[in-house]
Chains A and B, each alone.
Chain A
């Protein structure tokens, strides 16, 4: 009788999930602490873009695709992140 291949104890996708959960809790904690300002915004945005990149690369599987697909997704993230950051800075003036 064939035994199915045993999964590794902690799969790479499980590590990504744990990282995403941890980073979400960090973002939530920043909100709960009532923190704001340019540096906090940049930190929260950096965490958000890192999480987005992890989902795109590991969950959506774009890390194994040709550069075109990664450039499209990366461009979307950069444009959205850039809009959020520049609009925030506009609001400070």
Chain B
């Protein structure tokens, strides 16, 4: 029989919120997206007319709506962390549920956008712009799904009262990852949909 042990995951001063391992993962992800963004930008430099013309066929509304959706979802996660710091498990879980719900809205909007593009006969091989547009947004789409899975696991634990004001590293870990997903779209949206 194992004896119960109490482990307090107190936040080390000076380190970012959440588990240190998630930050290594976050920076690895940012590095990958950074290479992707740079590749898009320099490829555009060689095909400016093609990129500007192809960009006109993108649905900028859905890109902007999704930016607002992710920003709001990120805000809900901030509120979830604030709630658990005060010991409000139920409130924390509710904010996380809202964040996951908005993540779902992002996916639905994106699926409509993808469907319209595929229905118009656009694919990865259409041209360089669409190769980047599809691969970048699908890569990000998968990160949204992973983020939602992480937030769902955190939400379920929060609902069971698994976090306390003293021990809520898991909430901060999930929150940090979700903010990264938001941060990437904050750059992807103007780069792909707006700058011309």
A and B co-occur in one complex: yes
Residues 58-88 of B, flagged 1 when their CB comes within 8 A of A and 0 if not, give 0010001001100110110111001000101
Contacts of B186 in A (CB 8 A): 20, 48, 51-52, 55
Contact flag A61-B17 (CB < 8 Å), given A4-B86, A28-B194, A84-B195? yes
B13 CB to nearest chain A CB (Å):
8
Q: What separation, in Å, do the CA atoms of A62 and B106 have in the docked complex?
A: 26
Contacts of B189 in A (CB 8 A): 24, 27
Q: What separation, in Å, do the CA atoms of A44 and B191 have in the docked complex?
A: 9
Contacts of A14 in B (CB 8 A): 75
Contacts of A20 in B (CB 8 A): 71, 75, 186
Q: What separation, in Å, do the CA atoms of A88 and B190 have in the docked complex?
A: 13
Interface size on B, residues (CB 8 A): 47
**How many A-B residue contacts, CB cutoff 8 Å?**
132
Contacts of A56 in B (CB 8 A): 179, 183
Q: What separation, in Å, do the CA atoms of A90 and B86 have in the docked complex?
A: 51
Q: What separation, in Å, do the CA atoms of A79 and B186 have in the docked complex?
A: 16
Contacts of B195 in A (CB 8 A): 36, 40-41, 44-45, 84, 88
Name the segment of B1-9, B30-38, B154-162 touching the other chain.
Answer: B30-38
Contact flag A80-B194 (CB < 8 Å), given A28-B60, A61-B17? no
In the bound complex, do residue B41 and residue A83 qualify as a contact, i.e. CB atoms below 8 Å apart?
yes
Is B125's CB within 8 Å of the partner chain A?
A: no
In the bound complex, do residue A45 and residue B190 qualify as a contact, i.e. CB atoms below 8 Å apart?
yes
In the bound complex, do residue A52 and residue B194 qualify as a contact, i.e. CB atoms below 8 Å apart?
no
Q: List 30 A-B contacts (CB under 8 A).
A: A4-B86, A11-B82, A17-B75, A21-B68, A21-B72, A24-B64, A24-B71, A27-B189, A27-B190, A27-B194, A28-B67, A28-B194, A30-B194, A45-B190, A48-B187, A51-B186, A59-B75, A59-B78, A59-B179, A60-B16, A60-B176, A76-B30, A76-B31, A79-B34, A84-B37, A84-B191, A87-B38, A87-B44, A88-B41, A88-B45
Residues of A within 8 A of B (CB): 4-5, 11, 13-14, 16-17, 20-21, 24-25, 27-28, 30-32, 34, 36, 40-41, 44-45, 47-48, 51-52, 55-56, 58-62, 65-66, 69, 72, 76, 79-80, 83-84, 87-88, 90-92
Residues of B within 8 A of A (CB): 14-17, 23, 27, 30-31, 34, 37-38, 41-42, 44-46, 48, 52, 60, 64, 67-68, 71-72, 74-75, 77-79, 82, 86, 88, 172, 176, 179-180, 182-183, 186-187, 189-191, 193-196
